[in-house]
Amino acid sequence: MQQNKPIVWFRADGNSSIGLGHVVRSLALAELLAEYFDCRFLIRNPSENLKVQILSVCSTLVELDNDIDILQDAQNLTEQHFKANDLVVLDGYHFTTHYQQIVKKNGSKLVCIDDIYAYPFLADAIINHAGGIYPSHYKALPETKFYLGLQYALLRSPFRIAAATRPQHRYSWQNMFICLGGADPNNETLKVLEIVTKHSLLDTYFVVVGSAYLHLEALMAFIQDSSSRIILRQRLDAAEMVVQMQQCAIAVCSPSTVAFEYLSVGGTALHTLNSG
């Protein structure tokens, strides 16, 4: 029964400014744990679409005050939710050393999902699924366990299934997949489209934007005026993303979870694009 399972608290945020990657990869881990743990999610100001995604995996969604100081956030959660022997998973660049210290003070076990190793970590375990990363990149506790590299890629279930069956699919070199994350605050999607459609060398451009994307009007205006065949998809779930990716042997993606997802389904040529 659910109430007999150990509790895992996931703490991550996602919006039009910081994107949705922290939430997406946290949910990927929650999927893997949900059979054995009661997964609960803590987040500031989630969109309605994001709430649906979270509750499709986790038993509980707690919406947090968007205006309080981040360290007060940690204090509140430690007092109101985290208990000794609970597992807490943090994914976000604002969960610094001091935040972690507060979280651990009542005996909770701590896991940090990270990709920047920008400050000392107090975590019991660190997950970084980027390649070329070693424990020596981190300032951490002697007992910290590290789960580093692509073998620990945090992929949602449809991508894990697609990765196991990908030799069965044929990908068209005349189709390009474009996804610059769930938010793309600088509208790199439009900039990429302007470049790749300039000479119209491909048949079809599959463009995916997320629920936090704020430039839809400008993007749709460009698509309407373009002579290229551009298919725009919005707010896709993981299974729908797999279908789109499997039609394209070429992709332009943000250097984030979406790039790992594209490669997992068998994509061939990937170009990652940093914002700006």
Q: In this structure, what CATH number is given to the domain that contains residue 207?
A: 3.40.50.2000
Residue 173: give the domain boundaries. 158-272
pLDDT of residue 19: 86
Distance CA 215, CA 7 (A): 38
140 and 176 together in one domain: no
Query: Is 227 buried (19+), middle (13-18) or exposed (0-12) by CB count in 10 A?
Result: exposed
The total number of structural domains that make up the chain: 2
Q: Is the pLDDT of residue 85 over 60?
A: yes
Q: Residue with structure tokens 């839809």?
A: 216
Q: Tokens in use for 256? A: 């984030």
Convert the pLDDT of each residue in 7-16 to its tens digit: 999 999 998 8
Convert the pLDDT of each residue in 99-139 to its tens digit: 999 999 999 999 999 999 999 999 999 999 999 999 999 99
> Per 3-state DSSP, what percentage of the chain is helix, strand, and coil (rounded to 5)?
35, 25, 40
174 and 125 together in one domain: no
164 and 186 together in one domain: yes
Q: In this structure, what CATH number is given to the domain that contains residue 29?
A: 3.40.50.11190
Query: Is 3 buried (19+), middle (13-18) or exposed (0-12) by CB count in 10 A?
Result: exposed
Convert the pLDDT of each residue in 183-237 to its tens digit: 899 999 999 999 999 987 899 999 999 888 999 999 999 999 999 999 999 989 9
pLDDT of residue 2: 56
pLDDT of residue 62: 98
89 and 170 together in one domain: no
pLDDT of residue 3: 63
- Could you say which of 97, 121, 154 is where a domain stops? 154
- Could you say which of 126, 154, 182 is where a domain stops? 154
